[in-house]
Amino acid sequence: MKRLGLFIGLLGLLLSLSIGQQTQDEALLQRARAASDAVLTQLLARLNQEYQQGGAERGVQVCAQVAQSLTQQIGREQGVNIRRVSLKNRNPRNAPDAWERRVLQQWERDHKAGKELKEVAEWRTERGQRVYRYMRPIMVAMPLCLECHGTQIKPEVRRVIRERYPNDKAINYQQGDLRGAFSVKINSQPTEVQR
């Protein structure tokens, strides 16, 4: 009987640990999604505004100046590390790391096979630290994207891009293509369970 009690006790402990982990993961997932939403809406709003005032020439200047700082600012506000990545990146700082590359390559294959692309979230150990990682696809969802990432970019716009990004790879996209991803990293904090 004693054994059974111990067994049930252990089972209960294990269950509560895994439920604790689940709610923690759910909270991290919500944070990663919220940060991605914020970057998406704020960048799009800014792009639209500039575009209306001065077309793609102005949009590209502003994108080059604000995309990085805006993304980092939102990351700080939300307490996460967020960036945009792509296999064909324009800014060298948006080149994917090994894990991001694997996810993007898998998405490319899935997209070609006509499958729906889904966000990815997992715990990884990086340099001895537990890190929560999240990625969500960014598609070439509207014609506006093609003004700066398509096959027929205006010469004035192309000139600005070449000057600012001599190693640009982010062109020749079609509408509906996979453009890249939001990538979020959250460092693990000591939880009640670990203490």
Q: Does 89 bind ligand HEC (CB under 6 A)?
A: yes
Tokens of 175: 């509408």
Asked if 186 touches ligand HEC (CB under 6 A), the answer is no
Residue span binding ligand HEC (CB under 6 A) among the ranges 13-21, 26-34, 60-68, 108-116: 60-68
In a 3-state reduction of DSSP, which class is residue 167? coil
Binder among 24, 42, 68, 81 for ligand HEC (CB under 6 A): 68
Q: Which residues of 15-24 are buried (b: 16+ CB within 10 A; e: fewer)?
A: eeeeeeeeeb
- Least separation in angstroms between residue 179's CB and ligand HEC is 5
Handedness of CA 94, 188, 43, 120 (dihedral sign): positive
Q: Are 57 and 156 in contact (CB under 8 A)?
A: yes
**Measured from the CB atom, is 51 or 132 closer to ligand HEC?**
51
Q: Stretches 25-33, 53-61, 101-109, 121-129: which one binds ligand HEC (CB under 6 A)?
A: 53-61
180 is an interface residue for ligand HEC by CB under 6 A: yes
Q: Which of 59, 75, 96, 137 binds ligand HEC (CB under 6 A)?
A: 59
**What is the rounded CA–CA span in Å between residue 91 and residue 97?**
14
Decide if 109 contacts 120 (C-beta within 8 A).
Answer: no
Does position 64 interact with ligand HEC (CB under 6 A)? The reply is yes
Consecutive H or E run containing 83 = strand 81-85
For residue 83, with 0-12 CB atoms within 10 Å meaning exposed, 13-18 middle and 19 or more buried, which class applies? Answer: buried
Structure-token pair, residue 23: 């709610």
Contact between 84 and ligand HEC by CB under 6 A: the answer reads yes
Residue 172: both structure tokens together: 């020749």
Least distance between ligand HEC and beta carbon 141 (Å): 6
Q: Is 135 in the site for ligand HEC (CB under 6 A)?
A: no
Among 38, 100, 120, 147, binds ligand HEC (CB under 6 A): 147
Residue type present at position 140: V
86 belongs to the binding site for ligand HEC (CB under 6 A)? yes
149 binds ligand HEC (CB under 6 A): yes
**Would you count residue 63 as binding ligand HEC (CB under 6 A)?**
yes
